[in-house]
Structure 1
Amino acid sequence: MKKQKVLVTGSSGQLGSELKDIWYSDYRFELYFLERKDLDLTNPDLIQGILNHYQPDYIIHSAAYTAVDLAEQEPDIANVVNHLATSEIAKYAGKNSVRLLYISTDYVFPGNIDAALSEDLPTDPINIYGATKLKGELAVQKFCNDAIIIRTAWVYSTYGKNFVKTMLNLMNSRVEINVVSDQIGSPTYAYDLAILIKYIIEDGKWVAGIYNYSNEGRVSWYDFAKEIRDQSNLDCKVNPIPSASYPTQAKRPHYSLLSKKKVKQTFKVDVPEWKESLNKMLNKLKANQ
């Protein structure tokens, strides 16, 4: 039996690292984990040639320009990486009947609806990062109509830089901190998303379309920070503040809680609750220290 080749972009990012942790080459699948040095998304002209060298059956495109505030100063680079490079990957996938799974973001939404957002709601990004990721989505849909797009939000992991690790550093070094309380969503433990992606490919139930995925529950960044503190048994005081008191270069959506109904119904999967997943991550972090 011919092995199926699975190529993962952004393998040193949070999701890529989690995929690398849980998924090995075996008698069915040959895994290729590509970092920036292997596939430079700032140079889209070379992408199709590199992909052709590997000739994958599946591409998990998790690499992206994710510096949300910096993107406001570097819109061209963000556009090249998130839109033009994605476009080349989608063209290659479409031409060669490769199954493409593209990771997108809650930031494609304007964030003005206080409800769990379904996949078919209108998109209207309010920052450069969201706009370039949406262009990436549209390119994927244009050139590769069999693709799966997964929008996720507030991603954290034991790998890379993220909110959980930032909070732990601050709480260990300060008596009190201020955290925004009027941005609502749900965090995503990258490990849980990696498990879903592996399942979709290994199970062979490929249903093209756009899906939302984050952990279950409705929470603000302030609630998230308090839970990080409490689960870590730290003494730091956490104060709620409005977004207006913490200005950032890029605007953030006020509401980006994602509805997981479609992904649960289509793939018959359970989505873990956010506190449960946070607990798993914190335990892993402790074990790794």
Structure 2
Amino acid sequence: MKNILVTGANGQLGSCFRKHGKKYSNLSFDFKSSRELDISNFAEVDRLFSSQSYDFCINAAAYTNVEKAESEKEKAFQINAEAAGKLAEVCAANQVKMIHFSTDYVFDGSKTEPYLETDEVNPINIYGASKLAGERQITEVIDEHLIFRTSWLYSEFGHNFFCTILKKAAERASLNITTTQLGTPTNANDLAKYVLDGIQKDSCATGIYHFSNLGQATWYDFAEEILNYSGKIDQVDLNKTGYFKTLAQRPEYSVLSKEKAIKEIGEIKDWRKSLQDLIDEVV
């Protein structure tokens, strides 16, 4: 039996780990929401690890509001960098493997082909900078770490693009969706299962890996596929736009190469197939 701590357990990704964790009979979980464990409270983290024994720490706690991060830089860095680094220190001291999640926004979007793990990083917004700082702090203090850079996460849980589009369809809204960013929608359920499958089969992977679903899309493509497959395309006025005003600058291209992850850990679904599977399950 492997004992696993999951932080940020009530967030989108944490909820997916909670949903799928029960399917693994040889894994035991301690789910901690941000209220139950504030990873930026270092004394609280120390107390937990001194009272419990874990084999893995899945850190799903994060500051994820890309827009607010522009005006809350200190808070974003406190959670995504300082707290992640401290958690890594505690994991190292207790011989616990740390699994952490980063973002495609560590890149500036200047490439025109999928980003490799070894490509130069150059975040163009505060969120991306805070996540990159977290990556660096983790890799400096713990050898037994696994960092997944992911992109455009969605699921049936929390606030995300998938849920927003379905809500707007129910409201019969008019939608103007940008075509200027190219990336890959990633089903958070797939990421959670990928991590848990790796733990179950004793994967020895360490370091930084890219994980998103296969293929690429614009946000307009993503919205159109949600509406088409759910049968709600006629409920909205869907329009393409080349302009979308945001506080935070976004990379125009952030498709991630998954070759390393597929070769060393396991297969990954196409984004359309994964989206359709989720719609079949929850819509």
TM-score (norm 1): 0.93
Cα offsets for 1:35-62 (capped at 9, x unmatched): 0112113423432222332221100111
1:44–1:84 contact (8 Å) kept in structure 2 = no
2:88 corresponding residue in structure 1 = 90
Distance 1:152 1:175 in 2: 29
Q: 1:138 to 1:27 in 2, by over 3 A?
A: same
Conserved in 2, the CA contact under 8 Å of 1:153 and 1:188? yes
Q: Is 1:283–2:261 an aligned residue pair?
A: no
Instruction: Choose which of 159, 162, 165 in structure 2 pairs with 1:161.
Output: 159
How far 1:127 moved relative to its partner? 0.8
Distance 2:24 2:166 in 1: 37
Q: Which residue of 1 aligns with 2:182?
A: 184
Counterpart residue number, 1:240? 240
The residue that corresponds to 1:174 in the other structure is 172
Count of aligned pairs between the two proteins = 281
CA RMSD of aligned residues (A): 1.5
Q: What CA distance in whole angstroms lies between the structure 1 residues aligned with 2:52 and 2:252?
A: 41
Counterpart residue identity of residue 275, structure 1? R
Residue identity in the other structure for 2:135: E
Please give the per-residue CA displacement for 1:51-89, whole angstroms capped at 9, x wherever unaligned. Answer: 332221100111100011011111111111111110111
Query: Any unmatched runs of 5+ in structure 1?
Result: none
Residue 76 (structure 1) aligns with = 74
Q: Distance in 2 between matches of 1:52 and 1:84?
A: 20
1:165 CA drift (Å): 0.9
- Deviation sequence 1:188-215 (CA, Å, 0-9, x none): 1011111110011110012111100011
- Displacement of 1:270 in angstroms is 1.6
Check if 1:270 corresponds to 2:267. yes
Q: Structure 1 pair 67/26, CA: closer, same or farther in 2 (3 Å)? A: closer
The 2-side partners of 1:263 and 1:7 are apart by: 23
Amino acid of the structure 1 residue aligned with 2:106: V
What is the alpha-carbon distance in structure 1 between the residues aligned to residue 140 and residue 40 of structure 2?
Answer: 21
Change in Cα spacing, 1:27 to 1:260, as seen in structure 2 (3 Å) is closer
Shift of residue 172, structure 1, vs aligned partner: 2.7
Name the SS for the 1:69 alignment partner: helix
Contact 2:39 2:87 in 1 (8 A): no
- Mean alpha-carbon deviation: is it higher for 12-21 or for 132-141? 12-21
The TM-score normalised by the length of structure 2 is 0.95
- Shift in Å at residue 27 of structure 1? 6.3
